[in-house]
Amino acid sequence: MELQVGITVRVSGVEDDRLMKLMAVEDVPNSADGPHRRRFERTAFVRPLAGGAERGYPVEAVEAVCAHPRLDRRGDGTYCTGCEALIYASGAS
């Protein structure tokens, strides 16, 4: 499965095995190169499905899990019928 913004992914090599939402894939300058040389690294920005801070990882460490082909609206939000991930939380609390 191809990496597309909005899909559920898993990041290999991290301390926990939480599912994440792919927020963006961008070329980021490598800060170790110094000011005169610019080498870019393909970086995937992900956020935990349950909420939390967005973090960047090398795109090679990100594995697609589900593209959310069908959605189901429930009382507390909208879920993917394939992976059961919460896609949109309900506004009511």
Q: Which domain holds residue 17?
A: 8-67
Residue 82 · residue 66 · CB < 8 Å: yes
Residue 37 included in any domain: yes
Return the bridge partners of 74, or none. Answer: 77
How many domains does the chain contain in total?
A: 1
Return the bridge partners of 48, or none. Answer: 20
Signed CA dihedral, 44, 9, 20, 82: sign only: positive
**pTM above threshold 0.75:** no
Residue 55 included in any domain: yes
pLDDT digits (tens, 9 = 90+) for 2-41: 788 888 888 988 776 678 889 999 998 877 666 676 788 8
pLDDT digits (tens, 9 = 90+) for 35-90: 676 788 899 999 988 778 999 999 999 988 887 788 899 888 888 888 887 777 77
Residue 54 · residue 67 · CB < 8 Å: no
| Among candidate residues 61, 82, 54, the one with its CA nearest the CA of residue 70 | 82
Residue 83 included in any domain: no
Residue 82 included in any domain: no
Residue 89 included in any domain: no
Residue 79 included in any domain: no
